[in-house]
Structure 1
Amino acid sequence: MPTLVIANKLYSSWSLRPWILLRQLGIPFEEVLIPLDQPDTKARILALSPGGTVPILIDEGATVWESAAIMDYAHERWPEAGVWPKDRIARAVARSVSGEMHAGFRGLRAACPMNLGKVFAARDRGPDVERDVDRITAIWRDARKRFGAGGPFLFGAFSAADAMFAPVVTRFISYSIPVDPDTRHYMDAVIGTAAFQEWKDAALKETWVVAHDEPDEPVVTDLRPNRPGKT
């Protein structure tokens, strides 16, 4: 059985992407979690991958790192699972917007690190974040309008494109970023998947704290108010 190596579910956006894809599509795997910011974190990851980052997929002699590479490997390894849309044009668009997500939106990433444990107060987060939010929601609207007739996700059925944007959905929620009703409908579809609910339930039980992913700003809701102390 394949092994997927990930980091903290509360914070690791890159780990969430292949995990939610494989789980939602019913592709079985074993999970190994290496918590971030521990004395042995780097050594444990390097022992499994020369890239020194998670996620890592290990499968029948293949070691694949980087979320996008894992998704493409999954498409080749399990071609009937529906990793990418079947339609050629839809698949081209899905890969393009996923690539844009993989390489871009640094303003949003820097200002709003993934944190499933808290909801922060809404505020003006600057022009870089505003520009990223505008572009992301435009991508979602266009995909839903052109290809979303078959279901509630970007290309109808859940695919790698939705997995790539899943951490962005969580950021919009965690940082109280206002969106239009259609965008919220799509976001609700993503967080309503069984895979995401499983991930979030596990995330909220974690006890680790990664300081640089804990912004010093007003909190509306703390979803882990009784968590144990830092480890």
Structure 2
Amino acid sequence: MAGLTLVIGNKNYSSWSLRPWLLMKVNDIAFAEERIALYQPNSKDALLQRSPAGLVPVLKQDSLLIWDSLAIMEYLAEAFPAIHAWPTDKAARARARSISAEMHSGFSTLRQLMPMNCRKVAVHVDITEALAADIERVQDIWQDCLDCHDGPFLFNQFSIADAMYAPIVTRFKTYGVTPRNARIKRYQEQILSLHAMRQWYEDARAENEVIESSER
């Protein structure tokens, strides 16, 4: 297979970049990493040179371009079937796809009021009714999945579903969201303790760029 290149944004801020990056790192999929600092004077031009949508992430393989996080991970699931990026059980796979799609298109209030910022911890945010509903829905999803097995991840083995929700784990850490119980706390700790996630945080702390709209 020809070499893969993943174009990402700032690790401190780009939640969509984290998702496929984490899936690839956890599963030891070799790839070159190209980082484009977002919200800089030349950022948009640099992005449009790499993606017709002008957004990150982008997966490049020869002339092939894939410019959506979930589409990238679907491609990787097909290209590397041995990693079992989706659960092998048909019903579990359908459920994993459902919660991943919900994450992909939903939780707009949480995204707006709790922007990803890996360098910050215990940042105060006013919990509106809509934000509380998003937080509760995320924890409902995690609880429902974790209640079905004894494994450390949402579907026992690390999957696309975990990669989709990993940036929410970082947000809950940044904004001091208290897990509703010990099981969910262990899940969050499991995600944060992944070697790849620790590497992402280390790289994020080394970045110099500041996006004012994400700073509080």
TM-score computed with the length of structure 1 as normaliser: 0.90
**For residues 51 and 206 of structure 2, what CA distance do their matches in structure 1 show?**
27
- Contact in 1 for aligned 2:114/2:125 (Cα 8 Å): no
**For residues 120 and 4 of structure 1, what CA distance do their matches in structure 2 show?**
31
In structure 1, the residue matched to 2:194 is 193
Residues 88-167 of structure 1 aligned to structure 2 (within 5 Å): 88-122=90-124, 124-146=126-148, 148-149=149-150, 151-167=151-167
**For residues 104 and 62 of structure 1, what CA distance do their matches in structure 2 show?**
28
Alpha-carbon shift at residue 174 of structure 1 (Å): 0.3
User: Aligned-residue CA RMSD in angstroms?
Assistant: 1.0
**For residues 25 and 141 of structure 1, what CA distance do their matches in structure 2 show?**
25
**For residues 52 and 80 of structure 1, what CA distance do their matches in structure 2 show?**
32
Letter in 1 for 2:116: M
Alpha-carbon shift at residue 122 of structure 1 (Å): 4.5
Residues 12-31 of structure 1 aligned to structure 2 (within 5 Å): 12-31=14-33
**For residues 58 and 133 of structure 2, what CA distance do their matches in structure 1 show?**
31
Alpha-carbon shift at residue 121 of structure 1 (Å): 4.0
Alpha-carbon shift at residue 61 of structure 1 (Å): 2.5
Provide, for residues 34-54 of structure 1, a one-character-per-residue CA deviation record: whole Å limited to 9, x for no partner.
Answer: 001111111111011101100
| Unpaired segments ≥5 residues, structure 2 | none
Alpha-carbon shift at residue 82 of structure 1 (Å): 1.7
SS in 2 for 1:119: coil
**For residues 11 and 124 of structure 2, what CA distance do their matches in structure 1 show?**
23
- Contact in 2 for aligned 1:98/1:161 (Cα 8 Å): yes
In structure 1, the residue matched to 2:54 is 52
**For residues 30 and 127 of structure 2, what CA distance do their matches in structure 1 show?**
39
Alpha-carbon shift at residue 60 of structure 1 (Å): 3.3
Alpha-carbon shift at residue 199 of structure 1 (Å): 0.7
Determine what percentage of the aligned residue pairs are the same residue: 43
| Unpaired segments ≥5 residues, structure 1 | 216-231
In structure 2, the residue matched to 1:210 is 211
Letter in 2 for 1:195: A
**For residues 110 and 16 of structure 2, what CA distance do their matches in structure 1 show?**
15
Alpha-carbon shift at residue 120 of structure 1 (Å): 3.1
SS in 2 for 1:118: coil
- Contact in 2 for aligned 1:24/1:195 (Cα 8 Å): yes
**For residues 65 and 53 of structure 1, what CA distance do their matches in structure 2 show?**
7
1:84 counterpart = 2:91: no
SS in 1 for 2:50: coil
SS in 2 for 1:120: coil
Of 3, 6, 24, which aligns to 1:4? 6
Number of equivalences: 213
**For residues 124 and 142 of structure 2, what CA distance do their matches in structure 1 show?**
22
Letter in 2 for 1:152: P
**For residues 62 and 95 of structure 2, what CA distance do their matches in structure 1 show?**
30
**For residues 23 and 87 of structure 1, what CA distance do their matches in structure 2 show?**
24
Letter in 1 for 2:136: D
In structure 2, the residue matched to 1:220 is none
In structure 2, the residue matched to 1:173 is 173
Letter in 2 for 1:206: E
Change in 2 beyond 3 A, CA 1:207/1:123: closer
Provide, for residues 95-131 of structure 1, a one-character-per-residue CA deviation record: whole Å limited to 9, x for no partner.
Answer: 0000000000111111000001111345541111100
- Contact in 1 for aligned 2:13/2:214 (Cα 8 Å): yes
Letter in 2 for 1:156: N
**For residues 17 and 40 of structure 1, what CA distance do their matches in structure 2 show?**
24
Single out whichever of 81-90 and 107-116 deviates more from structure 2.
81-90
In structure 2, the residue matched to 1:223 is none
